[in-house]
Amino acid sequence: MNAEHRWLETYPELGSGPISTDPYISPEWYEKEKEKIFKKVWLCVGRENEIPKAGDYKVKRIDAAETSVILIRGKDGQVRAFHNACAHRGNTVVTETGCETYGRSKAAVVTCRFHGWVYGADGALKSVPSEERFYACFDKAHNGLTPINLGIWEGFLFINVAPEPDTTLEEFLGDYAGHFRGFPYDALDYGFTYRTELECNWKVAHDAFAEAYHVDTIHAGSFPNVFSTGLQNVKLMGPHRTCAVCLTLDAKPTPVSAIANKIAGASLVSQRGESMLPPAINPDKRSDFAFELSVIFPNTLLHISEGIWFTHQFWPIAHNRTLWEGRYYVKAPRTNSERWAIEHAMTLQRNAWLEDTATMEDTQRAMQSRAKTLQYLQDDEILIRHGAAIVDQYVNA
């Protein structure tokens, strides 16, 4: 096998030609993505442990699906999903305070602030002020919240806003579910969350995190000479994809980072064990394995490593605007020194993410100039090539 073109030889069906920039800058293409992707496929919208008690709820706004979603846990312990739209005159039932809104009701109900209509955690309309003034056409039993299909995998909450999804969540995830099943996500619950709105297409943001080719340049200061072996163990799983990112073993961290890594191991840039890893991760037991980089189509990147997992999500707002959410989880510190080491690792990670996001708006502006209309990808940008092919398949289905 040609080492420089190994992924082309492994996945020749993806081709080697350039990728058009039009899907990144076209408003018309974005409208098709909304209809054929974000309103059709399963979308990861959170974790079960975000709403652990009966009456806990979370509201997430999803512009690309043109809805706001209520995720609420009932007194029966079940989590359900509903459109955040009152049956009376269409107002949002839970008033949003941002892209995500959290709350709790001891009675496990939500109430529309406009006219006081009350809905239970099962979606049923419980109470209507002045109900006797409505006419015979009104039936309270048929005016509950509109349900949204909900699926749960490994504690992750997925919704599908299509009235009748083409697949179950299990069918949609396919081999991906087995590949990542069994990692102790809930045991690593000490987290950091970052979010910002970026003036770029969601795929521009997505692609910046889906390859390691840029590490030696963009991250020369934060992660110097750390990940230089290219992608390993690339696997394409239907619309999803995954690979291993490996360390340069003789790279030397800064003295402070070396101390922090020894105390807590909360940074990706250190050699790691694999007691937590599912069997399919790092199957050849590489000593330089750092973390698994994966994409759950369309917009969620899940990365796992020993003692660490994190996600990136790219939520389209417009054809040239994206909400980026990054979440990073480790074990909670037990001592002050562990807390310091974790904070150091997370600060370094945050700085690297800022270096990544700093490229995205410039990329969008340059693409929109149409001075260049094609992207030429190298072999280790295989995840980007696969992503472009899958988006094209859905849009042109």
Q: Output the pLDDT for position 102.
A: 96
The mean pLDDT values, 10 residues at a time, for the chain of 397 residues are: 88 96 98 98 97 97 97 98 96 93 96 96 96 94 97 98 97 98 95 93 95 74 66 96 85 81 80 85 89 96 95 97 96 94 89 89 97 96 97 96
Between CA 242 and CA 180 the distance in angstroms is 10
User: For 23, how many CA atoms within 13 A lie in the half-sphere containing its CB?
Assistant: 22
Q: Output the pLDDT for position 58.
A: 98
Between CA 274 and CA 290 the distance in angstroms is 10
DSSP, res 233 = E
Q: Interior CA angle at 374 toward 368 and 376, to 5°?
A: 130
Q: Output the pLDDT for position 218.
A: 72
pTM value is 0.95
Between CA 379 and CA 14 the distance in angstroms is 11
For each of the domains in the chain, give its residue range(s) and CATH number, in order of start: 3-21+176-395 (3.90.380.10), 43-166 (2.102.10.10)
